[in-house]
A and B are shown apart, each in its own frame.
Chain A
Amino acid sequence: MVKIEHLVKSYGQNFALDDVSFTVEKGEVVGLLGPNGAGKSTTMNILTGFLSSNSGKAEINGIDILEHPQEAKKLVGYLPEQPPLYLEMTVEEYLNFVYDLKKCTFNRKKHLREICEVVRITDVYKRVIRNLSKGYRQRVGIAQALIGNPEVIIFDEPTVGVDPKQVIEIRNLIRTLGKEHTVIVSTHILSEVQATCNRIIIINRGKIIANERTEEITRTLEDVRRFKIKVAGPQTEVLELLRGRQGITYVEALPEREGDAYAFLCESAPNTDMRKSIFYALADKGWPIMGLEPIGMSLEDVFIKLIDKKAESAKRISRG
């Protein structure tokens, strides 16, 4: 449905995209994950025809975006990073304008009403956009992308600056849309793509470093390496015991305290789950564990891990 081949985009000496290729099948929800400046927005801007690439090809449903821009653009609904809203218009006027702009031929009233209900902006339909809150503006931006019922929907960081309750609503919306549309979402929040996408494409400094199903990525990331443990026992002795365990590479006493329990930060060697052995060792001493939680990986950790993994498999291939 969406196909990108060897895209390169450079600004002078800086490569925003460096040979990026991927495809998205019909009905997939794909997350583009990467830190700020990784090339997510550039990819989306090229895919929607706003920018052009130095080389490479972007196709929507087999139609090249540069060769037949008008046909290709008809198939795409796009919410850019900053929703493209005319502040002096009311929501009603704005959506009608977009409806005309996209040359839609649906039943206008019904179509717009349905979209407003889906993104929940019916209550602000008659209000001027300038006076709406950030969350509502974002949703008007989403509504705009949905007009014309496009086959491909592209959202660039749709949950930035939106309150937590609305974030959940938007995520649900993306999942719902994924049932009938092809959706590409970009974000720099790992848990967001894990919550919404079938497939995750991780991009860093203009290069794709992973393109896998969400479960695979989650599995890669799930082995518990860093965790916080709370133990009710004497602080220094517990610290020594933890330090003495084989497989633990790093322990640090945290300043946190809960009653007679102290908190520690532990890190274990790769691919070893220390939780069971720690449990038994502490049980022997009669120091109950009051809490144990894995510490989530930051995006940087994810990158390091994925790059390591890539290097490892490359080695294995070259050996085999």
Chain B
Amino acid sequence: MLAIYKRELRAYFVTPIGYVCLAIFLAASGFLFSLFTLQSQTTDVGTYFTFSLFLLIIVCALLTMRLFAEEKKLRTEQLLMTAPVSITGMVFAKFLAAETVFAAAVLLSSLNVIPLYLYADPYTAQIVGNYVAFFLVGSSFISIGIFMSSLTENQLAAAVATIGTLLFLLIMNFANSYIDLYAFRFLIDWLSIYARYQNFTQGIFDYNALLYYASICFVFQFLTVRIYEKRRWA
């Protein structure tokens, strides 16, 4: 498992994809931050994180599209599947590698908040809460991306499917104003990642939402493992 993790992590930075992801994320989050806090002359980071969720879609799709699709295309998965490593271990190692790059990106982007502390007195608990939630949303996005990547051998298809799914999950509650049925609205609100994120932007640390994100993370990794198990039997 450790071997696969190390190889994946290295692969991010041997190919340009790791740098591209970091660059896009840092540049865009810097821009969003300056737009929604510094230029808006506020210490409220809620709006910044809300918009960053959309940025996350692209970054997570880029981070994960390669992970399984490329192995399938180059037939290197035969090496992994015939090595004494469990499928669960393989999936988790790849997840961790993507997670590490993502964590690095989030950590680097957290430098954004320094000016707030220099020139004002921001509400630290809200910032920390948002970062925790943001990281978990990212993890669940990565899980979904990994799942999509395991379905195809075409990286582009994996990325597009990931972006589509994530966008849908994120904004599906926008459709609520057009839906008359309460039960349906409730369901959509319950599923929507965006709706659940709103508490954090308002400074509320919502354990339910955290559990929800962690569950998505778990479920999609589990499904990826199942995909691989199933393919052996197909």
Contact = CB atoms under 8 A, between A and B. Distances in A.
A51 B232 contact: yes
Interface in B87-119: none
Contact of A102 (B78, B84, B234): B84
Interface string B174-196: 00000000000000000000000
A80 B78 contact: yes
B40 interface: no
A52 B233 contact: yes
B232 A102 contact: no
Given A51-B232, A52-B232, A86-B7, A101 B85 contact: yes
Interface in A80-112: 80, 82, 84-89, 93, 97-98, 100-103
Nearest to B79: A84
B82 A73 contact: yes
A273 B79 CA distance: 50
Interface residues of B, number: 25
Contacts of A103: 84
A86 B84 contact: no
A101 B86 CA distance: 11
B71 to A, nearest CB: 9
Contact of A85 (B76, B77, B234): B76
Contacts, number: 68
A158 to B, nearest CB: 15
Interface centre among B2, B7, B15 (most CB of A within 10 A): B7
Contact of A100 (B2, B76, B80): B2
Nearest to B87: A69
Contacts of A87: 74
Nearest to B75: A82
A51 B82 CA distance: 9
Contacts of B3: 97, 100-101
A101 B76 contact: no
B82 A76 contact: yes
A49 B74 contact: no
Interface in A226-250: none
A78 B80 CA distance: 11
Contacts of B83: 73, 98, 101-102
Do most interface residues of chain B lie in helix, strand or loop, or is the interface mixed? helix
A78 B4 CA distance: 18
A144 B84 contact: no
Nearest to A77: B82
B75 A80 contact: yes
Nearest to B80: A101
Contacts of B233: 52
A50 interface: yes
B81 A50 contact: yes
A1 to B, nearest CB: 17
Interface centre among B11, B81, B84 (most CB of A within 10 A): B84
Interface string B1-44: 01110110011001100000000000000000000000000000
A38 B75 CA distance: 20
Interface string A41-79: 000010011111000000000000000011101101010
Interface of A: 11, 45, 48-52, 69-71, 73-74, 76, 78, 80, 82, 84-89, 93, 97-98, 100-103, 144
Interface of B: 2-4, 6-7, 10-11, 14-15, 74-86, 232-234
Given A84-B75, A84-B77, A89-B14, 4 more contacts: A52-B232, A71-B84, A85-B74, A86-B7
List of 9 A-B pairs having minimum Cβ-Cβ separation, nearest first = A100-B3, A84-B79, A48-B82, A84-B76, A73-B84, A101-B3, A80-B78, A70-B84, A74-B84
17 contacts: A50-B78, A52-B232, A52-B233, A69-B86, A73-B82, A74-B84, A80-B75, A80-B79, A88-B11, A88-B15, A89-B14, A97-B3, A100-B2, A101-B3, A101-B4, A101-B85, A144-B79
